[in-house]
A and B are shown apart, each in its own frame.
Chain A
Amino acid sequence: MSRNIGCPQHEHAFSRRGFLAGSTTALGVAGGLQSALQAETVSAVQQQRKQVLQIFLQGGVSQLESWDPKPGTVYGGPFRAIPTSVPGVHISELLPLTARQMHRLSLVRSINIKINDHGQGRLFMERGRRAGEFPFIGSVAAKYLSPENNPLPGYVHFSTRGIAGDTAAFLGAGHQQLILDGEKVPPNLDRHSSLSETSATRRNELRMRLNDRFAVGRQKANVDTYSSSFAQAARLMERRHLFEGEISAADTERYGKHPFARKCVRARTLLEAGVTCVKVTHHGYDTHAENFNFHIEQLGEFDGPFSTLLDDLAERGLLESTLVIVHSEFGRTPKINVRYGRDHWGTAWSLAIGGCGIVPGAVIGKTNDKGTAVADREVDAGHLFHTYFQALGLDTSGDHQLDGRSVPIGDPAAAPIKELLA
Chain B
Amino acid sequence: MRVLQDPIRRSIVAFSWQPSARRVPGSVGLLVWGLLITGSLHAESAAVRHKPARAEERASADNSTGKTQSVVARKPLRHRVDQVIAARLAERLPALTAADVVPADDAELIRRATLDLWGVIPVADDVTDYLADNDSRKYQRLIDRLLTDPRHHHHLAAKLGITWMERRPDKHVSAADWTKWLTAQIADNRPLDDTVRDLLSADGSDADTRPAAKFLLDRNLDKDIVTRDIGRLFLGRDLECAQCHDHPLYDEYLQRHYFGITAFLNRSYVFNDKKKKRSIIAEKAVGVVKFASVFTNESGETPPRILNLAGIPDPPADKNPYVAKPTSAVAGVPKYSRRKLLATAVTDPANTAFRQNMANRLWAFVMGRGLVEPVDLWHVDNPPSHPELARLLGEELHRSGYNVQQFLRELLLSETYRRGSRVRAGVPVPADEHFAISVLRPLTPEQLTDSAFMAIGLTESTLQRVIAARKSKQPAIEHDVALQQAALRSEMNKLRAPFLKAFVDGPPTSRFDATAQQALFLKNGGLMATSLAPRSDNIIGRLQKQHEVDEIASTLYLSILSRPATSGEIEQIREYLREDDAELSTAERTLRLQELTWALLTSAEFRLQH
Does A pair with B?
Answer: yes
Q: Is B604's CB under 8 angstroms from A166's CB?
A: no
Contact segment of B63-71, B306-314, B591-599: B591-599
Q: Is A229's CB under 8 angstroms from B515's CB?
A: yes
Q: Is A174's CB under 8 angstroms from B515's CB?
A: yes
Given A178-B517, A202-B595, the answer on whether A207 and B602 have CB atoms closer than 8 Å is yes
Q: B28: CB under 8 A from chain A?
A: no
Q: Is A173's CB under 8 angstroms from B526's CB?
A: no
Neighbouring B residues of A413 by C-beta, 8 Å: 244-245, 294-295
Q: A32: CB under 8 A from chain B?
A: no
Given A217-B102, A219-B440, A404-B377, the answer on whether A232 and B513 have CB atoms closer than 8 Å is no
Q: Is A166's CB under 8 angstroms from B608's CB?
A: no
Least CB separation from B506: chain A residue: A166
Neighbouring A residues of B374 by C-beta, 8 Å: 403-405
In the complex the two chains form, what is the Cα distance from A412 to B528 in whole Å?
47
Q: Is B610's CB under 8 angstroms from A218's CB?
A: yes
A–B Cβ pairs within 8 angstroms, 27 of them = A131-B243, A165-B506, A172-B509, A172-B511, A173-B513, A173-B515, A176-B505, A176-B515, A188-B524, A189-B524, A192-B526, A192-B528, A202-B595, A207-B598, A209-B572, A210-B603, A211-B605, A217-B422, A217-B424, A218-B437, A219-B432, A226-B608, A228-B514, A230-B519, A230-B522, A233-B523, A412-B295
Q: Which of A6, A186, A235, A412 contacts B517 (CB 8 A)?
A: A186
Q: Contact flags (1/0) for B517-537 with A, using CB distance below 8 Å?
A: 111111111101100010000
Least CB separation from B518: chain A residue: A229
Residues of chain B in range 472-487 having any CB-CB distance to chain A below 8 Å: none
CB distance from B22 to the nearest CB of A (A): 16
Interface centre among B240, B245, B528, B576 (most CB of A within 10 A): B240
Neighbouring A residues of B513 by C-beta, 8 Å: 172-174
Residues of chain A in range 378-404 having any CB-CB distance to chain B below 8 Å: 403-404
Residues of chain A in range 186-215 having any CB-CB distance to chain B below 8 Å: 186-192, 194-195, 199-200, 202-204, 206-207, 209-211, 214-215
Neighbouring B residues of A187 by C-beta, 8 Å: 517, 520-521
Q: Is B595's CB under 8 angstroms from A199's CB?
A: yes
Q: Is A131's CB under 8 angstroms from B224's CB?
A: yes
Least CB separation from A194: chain B residue: B529
Residues of chain A in range 213-257 having any CB-CB distance to chain B below 8 Å: 214-223, 225-230, 232-233, 235-237
Least CB separation from A195: chain B residue: B529
Q: Is B442's CB under 8 angstroms from A222's CB?
A: yes
Given A131-B243, A216-B422, the answer on whether A229 and B516 have CB atoms closer than 8 Å is yes
Least CB separation from B167: chain A residue: A166
Q: Is A230's CB under 8 angstroms from B429's CB?
A: no
Neighbouring B residues of A203 by C-beta, 8 Å: 594-596, 598-599
Q: Is B506's CB under 8 angstroms from A408's CB?
A: no
Neighbouring A residues of B600 by C-beta, 8 Å: 210
Interface centre among A130, A199, A233 (most CB of B within 10 A): A233
Q: Is A230's CB under 8 angstroms from B523's CB?
A: yes
Neighbouring B residues of A178 by C-beta, 8 Å: 517
Neighbouring B residues of A216 by C-beta, 8 Å: 422, 425
In the complex the two chains form, what is the Cα distance from A166 to B506 in whole Å?
6
Neighbouring B residues of A207 by C-beta, 8 Å: 598-599, 602-603
Residues of A at the B interface (CB closer than 8 Å) are: 6, 130-132, 153, 165-166, 168, 172-174, 176, 178, 186-192, 194-195, 199-200, 202-204, 206-207, 209-211, 214-223, 225-230, 232-233, 235-237, 403-406, 408, 412-413
In the complex the two chains form, what is the Cα distance from A137 to B594 in whole Å?
42
Q: Is A188's CB under 8 angstroms from B244's CB?
A: no
- Majority SS at the chain B contact face: mixed
Neighbouring B residues of A408 by C-beta, 8 Å: 248
Least CB separation from B382: chain A residue: A404
CB distance from A3 to the nearest CB of B (A): 14
Given A191-B524, A192-B526, the answer on whether A132 and B240 have CB atoms closer than 8 Å is yes
Q: Is A405's CB under 8 angstroms from B422's CB?
A: no
Q: Is A6's CB under 8 angstroms from B598's CB?
A: no
> Which 3 pairs show the lowest CB-CB distances between chains A and B?
A173-B513, A217-B422, A166-B506
CB distance from A191 to the nearest CB of B (A): 6
Least CB separation from B530: chain A residue: A194
Q: Which of A199, A222, A230, A232 contacts B440 (CB 8 A)?
A: A222
Q: Is B382's CB under 8 angstroms from A405's CB?
A: yes
Q: Which of B427, B519, B529 contacts A217 (CB 8 A)?
A: B427
Neighbouring B residues of A206 by C-beta, 8 Å: 576, 595-596, 599
Interface centre among B440, B517, B604, B605 (most CB of A within 10 A): B604
Neighbouring A residues of B492 by C-beta, 8 Å: none
CB distance from B522 to the nearest CB of A (A): 8
Q: B252: CB under 8 A from chain A?
A: no
Give the size category of B's interface with A: 35 or more
In the complex the two chains form, what is the Cα distance from A178 to B517 in whole Å?
9
Neighbouring B residues of A190 by C-beta, 8 Å: 524
Q: Contact flags (1/0) for B334-352 with A, using CB distance below 8 Å?
A: 0000000000000000000
In the complex the two chains form, what is the Cα distance from A223 to B602 in whole Å?
12
Residues of B at the A interface (CB closer than 8 Å) are: 102, 224, 228, 240-241, 243-245, 248-249, 294-295, 373-374, 377, 382, 421-425, 427, 429, 431-432, 437, 440-442, 505-507, 509, 511-526, 528-529, 533, 572, 576, 591-592, 594-596, 598-600, 602-605, 607-608, 610
CB distance from A306 to the nearest CB of B (A): 29
Q: Is A218's CB under 8 angstroms from B429's CB?
A: yes
Least CB separation from B607: chain A residue: A226
Neighbouring A residues of B511 by C-beta, 8 Å: 172-173, 403
CB distance from A381 to the nearest CB of B (A): 14
- Given A210-B599, A226-B514, A413-B294, 19 further pairs, Cβ under 8 A: A131-B224, A173-B515, A188-B517, A188-B521, A192-B528, A204-B599, A206-B596, A210-B604, A210-B605, A216-B422, A217-B423, A217-B429, A218-B422, A218-B429, A222-B441, A222-B512, A222-B608, A405-B249, A413-B244
Neighbouring B residues of A202 by C-beta, 8 Å: 592, 595
Least CB separation from B568: chain A residue: A213
Neighbouring B residues of A229 by C-beta, 8 Å: 514-516, 518-519
CB distance from A392 to the nearest CB of B (A): 24
In the complex the two chains form, what is the Cα distance from A26 to B429 in whole Å?
40
Interface centre among B429, B603, B610 (most CB of A within 10 A): B603
Neighbouring A residues of B382 by C-beta, 8 Å: 404-405
Interface centre among A131, A223, A405 (most CB of B within 10 A): A405
Q: Which of B228, B249, B607 contacts A406 (CB 8 A)?
A: B249
In the complex the two chains form, what is the Cα distance from A206 to B600 in whole Å?
9
In the complex the two chains form, what is the Cα distance from A172 to B515 in whole Å?
9
In the complex the two chains form, what is the Cα distance from A200 to B512 in whole Å?
25
Interface centre among A192, A228, A408 (most CB of B within 10 A): A192
Given A188-B523, A203-B598, A228-B514, the answer on whether A223 and B604 have CB atoms closer than 8 Å is yes
Neighbouring A residues of B520 by C-beta, 8 Å: 186-189, 233, 236-237
In the complex the two chains form, what is the Cα distance from A233 to B243 in whole Å?
40
Given A202-B595, A226-B514, the answer on whether A218 and B529 have CB atoms closer than 8 Å is no
In the complex the two chains form, what is the Cα distance from A129 to B574 in whole Å?
58
Neighbouring B residues of A132 by C-beta, 8 Å: 228, 240-241, 243
CB distance from A216 to the nearest CB of B (A): 6
Q: Is B240's CB under 8 angstroms from A131's CB?
A: yes
In the complex the two chains form, what is the Cα distance from A226 to B443 in whole Å?
12
Q: Which of B224, B432, B512 contacts A226 (CB 8 A)?
A: B512
CB distance from B109 to the nearest CB of A (A): 17
Interface centre among B511, B512, B516 (most CB of A within 10 A): B516
Least CB separation from B516: chain A residue: A232
Q: Is A225's CB under 8 angstroms from B512's CB?
A: yes
In the complex the two chains form, what is the Cα distance from A294 to B591 in whole Å?
58
In the complex the two chains form, what is the Cα distance from A173 to B503 in whole Å?
10
In the complex the two chains form, what is the Cα distance from A195 to B442 in whole Å?
28
Least CB separation from B372: chain A residue: A404
Neighbouring A residues of B594 by C-beta, 8 Å: 199, 203
CB distance from B425 to the nearest CB of A (A): 6
Least CB separation from A165: chain B residue: B506
CB distance from B369 to the nearest CB of A (A): 10
Neighbouring A residues of B509 by C-beta, 8 Å: 172
